[in-house]
Amino acid sequence: EIVLTQSPATLSLSPGERATLSCRASQSVGSSLAWYQQRPGQPPRLLIYDASNRATGIPARFSGSGSGTDFTLTISSLEPEDFAVYYCQQRTNWLLTFGGGTRVEIK
Amino acid sequence: QVQLVESGGGVVQPGRSLRLSCAASGFAFSVYGMHWVRQAPGKRLEWVAVIYHDGSNQHYGDSVRGRFTISRDNSKNTMYLQMNSLRAEDTAVYYCVRDLNSGWHDYWGQGSLVIVSS
């Protein structure tokens, strides 16, 4: 099983600041990585798939990068609705796994 | 618009069985693979299972393989999860999710809570 490790566990930032979230895989997943946002009491929402493709309706302030074992989700300028938990996910060989999440909180 | 509505959750004793359903609408159900993903309280997301668009193949996560069975009825636009030999660690919100490009999850239901407790 491929283990995904997200860092930091919590990110404390102010609206308008840039957020940089990391996801590291225990072995290479190529570009097979996605990012999701989950607000309290809500199901997750797909933001990025195939490492860098924005999902339908996702604002341009969200961007993804990386390949192999190291990936980054960047939120260029935080909006109030962006304070949430973010998960990465890989899909190798139909053994899908998620990371432990990064909480982005208001500073 | 795409809608996925789970039902069938509740409280069940360890060792017993439960079946979840997911009613889909707003898209061509028979064209899409479908997943179950769960989330225990305060925990990370955990992928449970996937079924191909035509039901021809299924894959399972290690923790449920041999106990859970995913199925679908395309004539009813409905997916199912039969859960047998339930354990306390199966307690979670179970989400019905549509597949995007063989392994991503683009639409999620609101979830159905399953509590396994004596």
**pLDDT for A5:** 98
Chain B residue closest to A33 (CA)? B104
Give the percent of chain A with pLDDT over 70.
Answer: 100
Nearest CA to CA, how far is B103 from chain A (Å)? 5
pLDDT digit string (tens) for B57-81?
A: 999 999 999 999 999 999 999 999 9
Residue B56 has, within 13 A of its CA and on its CB side, a CA count of 5
Strands A85-90 and A97-98: antiparallel
Tell me which residue in A43, A44, A98 faces B46 most closely, judged by beta carbons: A98
pLDDT digit string (tens) for A21-80?
A: 999 999 999 999 999 999 999 999 999 999 999 999 999 999 999 999 999 999 999 999
pLDDT digit string (tens) for B104-115?
A: 999 999 999 999
Chain B CB contacts of A100 below 8 Å: 44
Cα–Cα distance, B10 to B83 (Å, whole number): 12
